[in-house]
Structure 1
Amino acid sequence: MSMSQTTVRARTADAAAPRRTSPRDVVLMLTAATSTQVGAAWGSHAFGAIGPAGVVAVRQLVASVVLLPLTRPDVRRLTRGQWARVVWLAAMFAGMNLGLYAAVERIGLGLAVTLEFLGPLAVGLLGSRSVRDLALAAVAGVGVYVLVLPGPSSDYLGVAFGLAAAACWGGYILANRSVGAALPGVQGTALATAVSATAYLPVLVWLALTDRFTPAALGFAVVAGVFSTVVPYSLDLLVLRRVPAPVFGVAMSAHPVLAALVGLVLLGQLLALHEWVGMALVVVANAVTMAAGGGRAAERQEATPPVGRAAAGSSRSR
């Protein structure tokens, strides 16, 4: 479930980026993506004690503690319209992470991240009427069907959570674009994270009052926040100074595959052949959309979340 960059940062990165992406930058992007998925995998170990909502609450708190000191937004100067955009972004952020983690609990990391990735893909194809883009949308649709193979044993609630995360990721991209036009740098993202963490405070209070916060659960949730927020956010800041946004978007397409591999290694979640095929179709559709879209893809991928996406990432989301 990919972590986001504003319009100004994305355009600056595109203008300053070299024509060739260095191997070091590729390694940094893949490291950030892997870190996002490792954080989600470790966070899933706390589901039994505090549930997905508890893990998300701790993760949002960690994200706000990291981002606010870095950006230091002047909240006293924000207008009502700016606050409205921040709240919209916070709602999408909170829904995206909760939907992803709820899906991870039911259908596993690889499948959940793949379904979530339909969000940025939909935004990338939004409004297009070209034959190529319609074909890519069809490929993604076939990929989802092959991935899920609807039947009596399908976990439709888990799939619904994944699709809800995808919808929120799409909304997050649009909201982040709006916030980026109203606030400088990543101040909007930091404020949205803080608002989201504040909204989750009742969850933290309830978990504390009911003694659900075991040391292990709290530790796993904090690790999820660090690996899915601090590490990928820091690496993305370095990479986006040199890498064009379309290249970054293509690299983000590796998230579902990395999620499946991390799920296999850390959680013992082995995917069936049809799940790998479905995932491959979604990944290819997204990669082609980002690579072939050129400047249009740069504009639409600029708001990919760095705090997990996901989204993590956010993929990202992380």
Structure 2
Amino acid sequence: MSRAHDRRMRLAPASRTPSPRAMDTAHRTAPTPADYDLGQGLERGLAPDPDQRPTGRRFAGVATMIGSGLSNQTGAAIGSQAFPVIGPVGVVAVRQYVAAIVLLAVGRPRLRSFTWWQWRPVVGLAVVFGTMNLSLYSAIDRIGLGLAVTLEFLGPLCIALAGSRRRVDACCALVAAAAVVTLMRPRPSADYLGMGLGLLAAVCWASYILLNRTVGRRVPGAQGSAAAAGISALMFLPVGIAVAVHQPPTVSAAAYAIIAGVLSSAVPYLADLFTLRRVPAQAFGLFMSVNPVLAALVGWVGLGQSLGWTEWISVGAIVAANALSILTRRG
């Protein structure tokens, strides 16, 4: 081979065929609620390798997670201040309106292009979305913020443990089950209707996760979640009108409900989009598992809803079960 030819080979541009790593990076898109399970982090590995992330970005992601969790629980606590005037139904109706405005603005769904195959899970997601919030807020009204959120959290925990065959997950399931039995033990002050509503919220959250997976596969981007939020808001439109007619809201009650919608819907959704790009999926899921503790603390400090030692131990056991399941996973 001549020197000239060797020189041309050294100066020739590198092959334009992308490496597998580059192709993987190029196909990553902005995460949506369908890309991760609430309480379990990402489903599709959208968070980049934490070792390649600057420390400042990781710190910003952690700070955002803390702010998102506190915002969510504080919004629920503020919304409960409007219960005496418009009830949980009125507050949930306003929350659905706020969620629809935010998600429709972010997702911008092309509704006319949806097929019936795409509409079916979207409609199901809308029904589950509304039922989940209504049952949760009704449970908060009866048994308090901390216990209601703890019972609701059993939904994603069961989804995480259901398909696993690991012994550690079986132990985690037993710990969580024992904690639930302790929380729902017979006693004079037990409100079983409130606890039942909390468990209904858990079933709805589990269904929300499964439906979100289906919607994420069938509808691109955040369009499916946005369409579901819009349908849910339309479903609650007559409910909101009926509440306004029969229980006219005061200015303060309306303000509480709107603030609850912003803090519990808009802020957490946008914060999660920011967080998922800056922290590992495992860290995100681990932090989400602490939400019952945050709810109990906000209920105690903001609403004076104190828990006994038995309740605190049960809440801690459920959180520990989820944390142990996440920390012992590989990959």
1:6 matched to which residue of 2? 34
Alpha-carbon deviations, 1:39-86, whole Å to 9, x = none? 000000111111111111100001111111222110000000111110
1:302 matched to which residue of 2? none
**What's the CA shift for 1:204?**
0.7
Number of residue pairs aligned between Structure 1 and Structure 2 = 291
Q: Mapping of 1:52-63 within 5 angstroms?
A: 52-63=88-99
1:303 matched to which residue of 2? none
Distance 1:243 1:13 in 2: 10
**What's the CA shift for 1:293?**
3.0
1:148 matched to which residue of 2? 184
Work out which of the residue numbers 230, 238, 245 in structure 2 matches 1:209: 245
8 A contact 1:40–1:228 mirrored in 2: yes
Distance 2:151 2:209 in 1: 16
8 A contact 2:94–2:261 mirrored in 1: yes
Is the partner of 1:13 in helix, strand or coil? coil
Distance 2:330 2:85 in 1: 45
1:298 matched to which residue of 2? none
State which drifts further: 164-173 or 24-33.
Answer: 24-33
Q: Does 1:288 align with 2:316?
A: no
Distance 2:186 2:165 in 1: 29
8 A contact 2:65–2:275 mirrored in 1: yes
Distance 2:209 2:329 in 1: 17
Distance 2:258 2:121 in 1: 28
Q: Does 1:227 align with 2:280?
A: no
8 A contact 1:148–1:275 mirrored in 2: no
8 A contact 1:147–1:276 mirrored in 2: no
Identity %: 51
2:283 matched to which residue of 1? 247
Q: Mapping of 1:110-121 within 5 angstroms?
A: 110-121=146-157
Amino acid in the other structure paired with 2:154: L
Q: Mapping of 1:1-318 within 5 angstroms?
A: 5-7=33-35, 10-11=43-44, 13-14=46-47, 16-19=48-51, 22-295=58-331
Amino acid in the other structure paired with 1:267: L
Distance 1:11 1:178 in 2: 13
**What's the CA shift for 1:12?**
5.1
Where has structure 1 moved over 3 Å in runs of 4 or more?
A: 7-10
Please, which runs of 5 or more residues in structure 2 have no aligned partner?
1-31, 37-41
State the structure with more CA Rg: 2
8 A contact 1:246–1:294 mirrored in 2: no
8 A contact 2:104–2:226 mirrored in 1: yes
2:19 matched to which residue of 1? none
Amino acid in the other structure paired with 1:11: R
Distance 2:67 2:249 in 1: 30
Distance 2:287 2:314 in 1: 19
Distance 2:129 2:246 in 1: 26
Alpha-carbon deviations, 1:234-264, whole Å to 9, x = none? 2111111122222211110110110011111
Distance 1:84 1:226 in 2: 28
8 A contact 1:17–1:242 mirrored in 2: no
**What's the CA shift for 1:101?**
0.4
State which drifts further: 183-192 or 266-275.
Answer: 183-192
**What's the CA shift for 1:126?**
1.4
Amino acid in the other structure paired with 1:269: Q
**What's the CA shift for 1:215?**
1.3
8 A contact 1:115–1:163 mirrored in 2: yes
Is the partner of 1:293 in helix, strand or coil? coil
**What's the CA shift for 1:17?**
3.6
8 A contact 2:45–2:281 mirrored in 1: no
Is the partner of 2:248 in helix, strand or coil? coil
Is the partner of 2:124 in helix, strand or coil? helix
TM-score, normalization by structure 1: 0.87
Amino acid in the other structure paired with 1:6: A
Amino acid in the other structure paired with 2:256: F
Is the partner of 2:164 in helix, strand or coil? coil
**What's the CA shift for 1:24?**
2.6
Distance 1:10 1:130 in 2: 19
> What CA RMSD, in Å, does the superposition of the two structures yield over aligned residues?
1.6
Query: Relative to 1, partners in 2 of residues 1:167 and 1:294: Cα closer, same or farther, differing over 3 Å?
Result: farther
